[in-house]
Amino acid sequence: MRNRHHLTQAALLLFAFAARAYAAPADSSITGAIADSSGKAVGKATVTLQDASGKAVGAAQTDANGHFTLDHVTPGTYAIVVTAPGFASGSSVATTTPGQESSVSIALAKSDALDVQVNAQRLNRARNDLLPDTGSSVYRFSQSDINNLPAGQNTPLNQVLLQAPGVASDSYGQLHVRGDHANLQYRINGIIIPEPISGFGQSLDTRIIDQMNFLTGALPAQYGYRTAGIVDIRTKSGDDGSGGSIDVFGGSRQTIRTSGDVFGSKGPFSYYFSGSIGENNLGIENPTSGANALHDHTRQGNAFGYMSYIINPLTRVSLMFGTTSNQFEIPNTPGLTPAFTLNGSSSFDSSQLNETQSELNQFAAVTLQGTNGGALDYQLAFVTRYSRTQFNPDTIGDLLFNGVASQDFHSDTANGVQLDTTYRLNDRHTIRSGIFVQQEHAVFDNNLSVFPVDENGNQSSDQPISIPDSSSKTGYLYSAYVQDEWKVTSKLTVNYGLRFDKMDEYVSASQVSPRIGLVYALTPSTTVHAGYARYFTPPAFELVSNADIARYAGTTAAVSGQNDPVQPERSHYFDVGVTQRLSSALTVGLDAYYKKSSNLLDEGQFGTALIFTPFNYQYGRVYGVEFTANYRQDNVSAYVNVGLSRAQGKNINSAQFNFDADELAYISSHWVYLDHDQRVTASFGGTYTLGQTTFTVDSIIGSGLRSGFANTDRLPWYTQLNLGVVQHFNVNNPLIGKFDARLLLINAFDRVYELRDGSGIGVGAPQYGPRIAVYAGITKNF
């Protein structure tokens, strides 16, 4: 009986097994190999088997050769998901059949690109946090804002800045901010770029800008030397991807300009390069009211590069460089009468003069930047810059009209070290400190052809003589600062600090400057800022020469009077403002400022060369008020800026030989308006997007710069309106794809206006604003 029972059980088990094998399909398996993008095996990768609902139903790990096997897989369709440290996840789909083995191969992309982007963003935040703006007036330009100007990225940088409040336009591309003559500091990615010798060319291309902040007012202790405005440029980079653009732009007055840029990254290395080359027949402002200037051709080119390498997640090294080369013809005024005689002749057609000027500016910076991920950020930079300007006279013509033909060569080489640090002491106190040291070497090589004169100053010979005038000088700037950004409450932030500046150039001087600024959130929609700053502003070293005026005695270049050295300007600056958000789309602001100076700095053109010379007023005062409004809602944006200002000086106390005796005497006892003073300065603009078309407008308005004896008069009001339209195309062709076409009209109503009439303190020649012009451009991004 027992044996029969065992036999029965065995038969039943055998029957059950056979029935199961017949009723259900056999299991299958999945094998595969996991490798990186170069084909190298990835070991210890996790392989997860997911069913149609996303539920994990199996898992395995790759061996050293990247192989894996998943056994006992029920036939069906599955997703295979692979993860491994240092790689982005990968996946594949596999369908198994009963009793069969399926095979898959999956290549994993390294996750370095994502990691690099995260690290780059962290380092960018740390770098930008080195530059505070507490208490200052700040106007921000995004890449989109620049693209929406009528000329887009072909807008010169000085004309972009004209859209900010309190910025007045002048001849030769100069800008005056809140009643100061130039006095702008340019920073690229936080690095101070030594200024070039003054001229007409723009040293920086608007195309490189990703974000630009324009700071004015009472600045934190970090900012020194050039303080009328800080142009803080954050460049494009290849951190977030790769691509580039090609742009062709041209139109009236034989304008043609070709530009391009390219950016990208490979692992921890990223790069951005841009360049442009172009020419036109309106390089410098027309000295006449005619539509086309005579002898005003220019050729201009520039290049910029930025490369960075992330050494580790908290440290980055970068190299930045730029070069600009510009050549200009000096425009002519027809109908002038010669005042001198050369070789028995006193006739010359002034429309045929052939004066030219060339400019070269080059800079480079190597930067080490890092953060410990929490309390400490730093940036250390080594900067070098070479700048030169050469004026080439029309020797015969200049002798006949001016009695002087001067070939002027100025060059300046600057080398500097800049260190900025941020230390977050706690949640309420952020300490920033830094040092800056710069050495400059300037060379002045001027050769004058002049006529002899008698004791009464009359030409005594029609044969010119040559007077060489060469000199050089090395100078130094030193500075250090420390400041604390204190969050007093959740609504009130105070930034206070000290700055020390010292110059050892043609004169030696130093100053300790206290700074304090505050921002108070009065309500969720109302913010008040205020500040006080003590400023120390050295004269532009590259413009101050130690010319020996005695050597010109007895010639047509003779001058008389004192030649006291140019001093640094010292000033007290007060600023207060309020910003009100009226709605989610509309914000308005009001700002008032007052500056009291001793040895106020100004510059003028006193020779035939278009190179400026600094001088001082013993006393200076500048004050004004600004209103700004910005609107942005859906497809509409608009802005309006209006500034009222007064800029005055009294008693010229340096480089006095450049001025007439009667003008000096008047200025010594009267407050006079500075030559760049403009009572009202305004700008407005906006965009409207309709489908793939964007309409854009901008305009500048001014009450006229100063003119006449001792600047006692002013030029008439002027306005310039520019219109543009941008069409965005998306062609269904892989070779063409997306591109933008742009059409713009400059000075749409062809208003004739003078920037200068040739009179005033330190003003050399008349200049008119541009006449009506039409331009078009095509931009292809890739």
The pLDDT value given to residue 733: 77
Kindly state the tokens that stand for 163: 């859209």
Q: Which of 515, 360, 385, 511 is nearest to 438 (CA)?
A: 385
Angstrom distance (rounded) from CA 65 to CA 31: 13
Q: What is the pLDDT of residues 664-710, one digit of tens each?
A: 999 999 999 999 999 999 999 999 999 999 999 999 999 999 999 99
- Give CA separation, 713 vs 174, 495, 603, 658, 716, in Å: 21, 42, 19, 20, 10
Residue 64 CB contacts under 8 Å (≥ 6 apart), including other chains:
41, 43
User: pLDDT at residue 23 above 60?
Assistant: no
3-state secondary structure 651-712: EECCCHHHCCHHHHHHHHHCCEECCCCCCEEEEEEEEEEECCEEEEEEEEEECCCEECHHHC
Angstrom distance (rounded) from CA 202 to CA 304: 13
Share of the chain above pLDDT 70, in %: 95
The pLDDT value given to residue 331: 95
What kind and span of H or E run contains 6? Answer: helix 2-23
User: pLDDT at residue 4 above 70?
Assistant: no
Cβ-based neighbour number of residue 6 at 10 Å: 9
Q: Which of 600, 577, 598, 625 is nearest to 178 (CA)?
A: 625
Q: What is the pLDDT of residues 492-508, one digit of tens each?
A: 999 999 999 999 999 99
Cβ-based neighbour number of residue 592 at 10 Å: 16
Q: How confident is the model at residue 201 (pLDDT cuts 50, 70, 90)?
A: low
Q: What is the pLDDT of residues 226-250, one digit of tens each?
A: 999 999 999 999 987 889 999 999 9
- Give CA separation, 641 vs 228, 638, 685, 767, in Å: 18, 11, 9, 25
Cβ-based neighbour number of residue 642 at 10 Å: 17
* Domains contained in the chain, CATH given: 2-109 (2.60.40.10), 119-781 (2.40.170.20)
The model's pTM: 0.84
Q: What is the pLDDT of residues 571-601, one digit of tens each?
A: 999 999 999 999 999 999 999 999 999 999 9
Q: What is the pLDDT of residues 137-196, one digit of tens each?
A: 889 999 989 999 999 999 999 999 999 999 998 888 889 999 998 889 999 999 998 877
User: C-alpha 166: how far from its chain's center?
Assistant: 18
User: pLDDT at residue 478 above 80?
Assistant: yes
CA atoms within 13 A on the CB side of 204: 26
Q: Tokens 């405005």 sit at which residue?
A: 229
β-pairing, 229-235 vs 184-188, is: parallel
Q: Tokens 């100076």 sit at which residue?
A: 597
Kindly state the tokens that stand for 294: 């005579």
The pLDDT value given to residue 113: 54
Cβ-based neighbour number of residue 651 at 10 Å: 16
Q: How confident is the model at residue 20 (pLDDT cuts 50, 70, 90)?
A: very low
The pLDDT value given to residue 34: 93
β-pairing, 718-730 vs 766-768, is: unpaired
